[in-house]
Amino acid sequence: MIKNINNDSSPARKKGFIATTLAICSGTTIFRDLRKTSIFRMAAHLIALALLCSVANVMLGLYPFEAKYYSACQKLEKQFGGLRRSDKGMVPANTPDKPGTVFLDSFRVDYFPNDTDLDKFDPSDDFNVGIVWTPDIVARWTKISKNSFQVVPIIIPPPGENVEGLRAFMKKLTRIANRGKLAKSLRAWVIPPEDMMPWAESASFHEFKTNMLGGVWLDLPTIYGMNLFSGILVNALFISPLYILVFTAFSFVFGRSGTLGMNFKQLFVVGMYTGFPGMIIATIYTALDLPALDYQSVFLLSYLIYSFPVFSRLSRNVNGDGEGNP
């Protein structure tokens, strides 16, 4: 006979976020009490964990990026000498009328003093990512296939300005694309000279800023840190709970709630807390930039593995076994 344990006292449910998380990661005993936690308290714990993991991801991932970024800036400084504003736009401080290419670890930077020089642009098969730079254009390209490229602006012009220049440049890019060197999906933005370097008349590559996020000028390490933070936050607050909600729905439909003596809400709360170790493991895996798996793959694998002892513990509790064992 199944024993209903919904009326048990649950002092553990009043533990704070840190104590609760430590108890979850150290054993399954606490889940007998966590099933009675309110949705709002569980959501507060989830938000706290998501913020903590996001900060940890920034702390672990930003320093390696900054080291690579400053090393790349030094190579660019050696080749181009820095950045300078001219009547054409943003040009290298050294030899602004001479094309140049810098090969970095995983991408390349190509400078062309004139739009017509873009006819010479022919990315090597060794690089799938790069930056195209002319005095009035700075764009990042990504190779999709052999003759297919996607380009995203690094500097965005004010809307409605220099439209004719943009159309002329797009016409040239289309002509190049028709020869198979660039994709028809290639995009480019022409920026008026006065909008190319609003932060200074001249600058080092370390001081370079982009306005590709809502028109706000930020340096690249700051944007990278924001991406690290937001990536984990979105995964932990939205995508992972969605997976858990789906698993909960399947478990409820196939009768697990009855065998465990829990309703749908309790089953979902337990599922969310079961996902806490997986979120932590996936954050560390992502921050260390380990190969093969992404955040969600690591999270799902960890969640599925940990759910077996958790629900086994709850099943024993329902049937009156194993009350004192972790």
Q: Nearest 5°: phi and psi at 92?
A: -65, 150
In this structure, the answer to whether residues 192 and 248 fall within a common structural domain is no
In this structure, the answer to whether residues 110 and 175 fall within a common structural domain is yes
Q: What is the pLDDT of residue 13?
A: 44
**Tokens for 247?**
């698993």
Lowest-pLDDT choice from 143-152, 231-240, 253-262 = 143-152
In this structure, the answer to whether residues 126 and 51 fall within a common structural domain is no
177 part of a folded domain: yes
In this structure, the answer to whether residues 167 and 250 fall within a common structural domain is no
Q: What is the pLDDT of residue 252?
A: 87
Q: What is the pLDDT of residue 180?
A: 43
Q: What is the pLDDT of residue 49?
A: 98
Burial 154-185 (b: 16+ CB within 10 A, else e): bbbbeeeebeebbeebeeebeebbeeebbbee
Name, in order, each residue with C-beta under 8 angstroms of 204's C-beta and a sequence gap of 6 or more: 73, 77, 82, 83
> Which of 155, 171, 203 is the endpoint of a domain?
203
Q: What is the pLDDT of residue 4?
A: 45
Name, in order, each residue with C-beta under 8 angstroms of 281's C-beta and a sequence gap of 6 or more: 298, 299, 302
Lowest-pLDDT choice from 35-39, 186-190, 266-270 = 186-190
| Number of domains within the chain | 2
In this structure, the answer to whether residues 106 and 171 fall within a common structural domain is yes
Lowest-pLDDT choice from 54-58, 139-143, 180-184, 289-293 = 180-184
24 part of a folded domain: no
279 part of a folded domain: yes
Q: What is the pLDDT of residue 253?
A: 85
Question: How far apart (Å, rounded) are the C-alpha atoms in residues 84 and 286?
Answer: 37
Whole-prediction pTM value?
Answer: 0.80
Q: Helix axis angle, 17-26 relative to 264-274, nearest 10°? A: 80
Q: What is the pLDDT of residues 99-122, one digit of tens each?
A: 999 999 888 999 989 877 776 677
User: Residue 236 pLDDT > 80, yes or no?
Assistant: yes
Mean pLDDT of 212-234: 92
40 part of a folded domain: yes
User: Residue 232 pLDDT > 80, yes or no?
Assistant: yes
Instruction: Please state, rounded to an integer, the average pLDDT across all residues of the chain.
Output: 82
Size of the chain in residues: 326
User: Residue 283 pLDDT > 50, yes or no?
Assistant: yes
In this structure, the answer to whether residues 166 and 119 fall within a common structural domain is yes
User: Residue 3 pLDDT > 80, yes or no?
Assistant: no
> Which of 203, 234, 250 is the endpoint of a domain?
203
**C-alpha separations of 51 from 44, 140, 141, 271, 282 in Å:** 11, 30, 32, 19, 14
In this structure, the answer to whether residues 274 and 162 fall within a common structural domain is no
Mean pLDDT of 125-134: 84
Mean pLDDT of 13-28: 89
Q: What is the pLDDT of residues 50-67, one digit of tens each?
A: 999 999 999 999 999 999
**Radius of gyration in angstroms for the set of CA atoms belonging to the chain, rounded to a whole number:** 27
**C-alpha separations of 324 from 151, 262, 298, 310 in Å:** 60, 20, 31, 14
Question: How far apart (Å, rounded) are the C-alpha atoms in residues 8 and 318?
Answer: 11
For residue 107, the enclosing domain spans 83-203
In this structure, the answer to whether residues 43 and 89 fall within a common structural domain is no
10 part of a folded domain: no
4 part of a folded domain: no
Mean pLDDT of 194-208: 88
Question: How far apart (Å, rounded) are the C-alpha atoms in residues 311 and 31?
Answer: 9
In this structure, the answer to whether residues 87 and 48 fall within a common structural domain is no
111 part of a folded domain: yes
Q: Evaluate whether 92 touches 83 at the Cβ level (below 8 Å).
A: yes
69 part of a folded domain: no
Q: What is the pLDDT of residue 326?
A: 40
